[in-house]
Copies of this chain bind each other. A is one copy, B any other.
Amino acid sequence: MASALTTLKTRLADINALNAAITIMDWDQQTYMPKGGGHARAEHIGILSRMAHETFVADETLKLAETSEPEGEEDEALLRVVRRNLSLATKLPTSLVEEKSRLSAIAHEKWVEARANSDFKSFAPTLERMFEIARLEAEYLGYTESIYDALLDQYEQGATAADARRMFEAIKGPQVALVKAISEKTETDDKALYGEWDKKAQSEFTEMLVQAIGFDFSRGRQDTAPHPFCTGWSVGDIRLTTRYKSYIGSAIFGSLHEAGHGMYEQGTPSKWDLTPLAGGVSLGVHESQSRTWENIVGRSKPFWSHFLPALQAKFPALTGYNLDTFYKAINKVEPSYIRVEADELTYNLHVLVRFEIELDVLTGKLAVKDMPEAWNAKYSEYLGITPRNDAEGCLQDVHWSMGSIGYFPTYSMGNLLSYQIWGALQKDIPNTDELMASGQFGPILEWLKSKVYSQGKYYTPKELVLKVTGKPMDATDYLAGLGKKYTEIYGM
């Protein structure tokens, strides 16, 4: 008779196949699906999601997970991941999961409409119920210090509100000061980055770029989608998307960002493919890698000293730039209303606003109806600008309408971790500038692969960060890195 562990693994393979089906259906929906396919797609994804969930939380799975005896350290890690996921999935009562699922569908519609009309009031009651559900979720999941901990832990295992608060405390002062100092400088000219760009040329150039940094096209591809994303269902099949807009950086940095996610996924050891140990360990660590390749590599001067000639050959409208002016243009700092369009320096301030507001609403310090005023006051304080309406204010993000409350800090964690891991990398590879300037990304990718990507979910996020960088996440490298970069660019 098969051991409990063997039977459990077969069950997990079934769930993996169902999830792969859902993921490829989702990829197709965002890339190639004709309009008329939407109804059936929703039906099919709904049914397969139910099957995957029911198979996972079934009594039999629980029993197998409890009674399985690990046959080595990898099995131990596997059982740890499975037991944690089971615990998250089974602590919530089905009625709450179902209400959230139903409310999300309604809330998304209402949010789209409210944002279009910049009408927060029409969305407020739905959002209030969504926060109420988040509170209930947190109570069912359990926490010791802050109600926020239970929610954040779902996205970033072990991370707490205290971690997030410490992080923001450390970066708020220096970042606000840096942004303020830059805003007093003369304006950066990035007008030439906007224009009408041939789509095929953008596709070819970005594919060349991501292949050059190490994304493996024999195990992946790049397509276009309205909102860029990276997805996949095997170490052998990772899909990137990008988009082509008037700002040429949308395609370039979008592609590099998603390729960062993609190379992380491609770095899973084959033996873990299709198992719960495959893929990125947490949202924060995942984001650290997309930001590394987008910002630390892709917005660096050595990178463009290598690629600018090829870019200008492909897009002659950019020949007016030299390396210095191009580098400055793609690193233009300017406080703006919209998070997803924010530059590297102001980005975390956008996240901070959301974190503080989530925390205040969850702990009852702020009523949902008063959110717009609180939002605008914080933008005014941290970024020096005040949204003119709720569409460019507190209605801009999709997350809360989906019930993703407690998610935002992982974006900032990704930023901090990108510099922290890069710092560790530079101890082993001090000549990253030379390597990038000569188009040699292999040693960089190999280091990240061996230290991070190949670890899959074997360690917890906190263990991995400690193991790779020798310390828990902190803001030192991040602040030092940004400070050095922007002081130099803006000659301060």
Contact = CB atoms under 8 A, between A and B. Distances in A.
A472 interface: no
Contact of A217 (B17, B34, B47): B34
Contacts of A24: 21, 24-25, 28
A22 to B, nearest CB: 8
A237 B17 contact: no
When all copies of this chain in the complex are counted, the total is 2
Interface string A140-160: 000000000000000000000
A10 to B, nearest CB: 9
Contacts of A35: 218-219
Contacts of A2: none
Contacts of A219: 34-37
Contacts of A28: 24, 28
Contact of A21 (B33, B38, B44, B216): B44
Name the prevailing secondary structure of the A interface residues: helix
Interface centre among A17, A18, A40, A221, by most chain B C-beta atoms within 10 angstroms, is: A17
Contacts of A48: 17-18, 21
Contact of A234 (B40, B223, B233, B235): B40
A331 B289 CA distance: 58
A102 to B, nearest CB: 19
A204 to B, nearest CB: 14
Contacts of A13: 43, 47
Interface in A427-455: none
10 contacts: A14-B47, A16-B44, A17-B48, A24-B25, A34-B219, A34-B221, A34-B237, A40-B273, A40-B274, A41-B234
Interface of A: 13-14, 16-18, 20-21, 24-25, 28, 32-41, 43-44, 47-48, 51, 216-221, 223, 233-237, 273-274
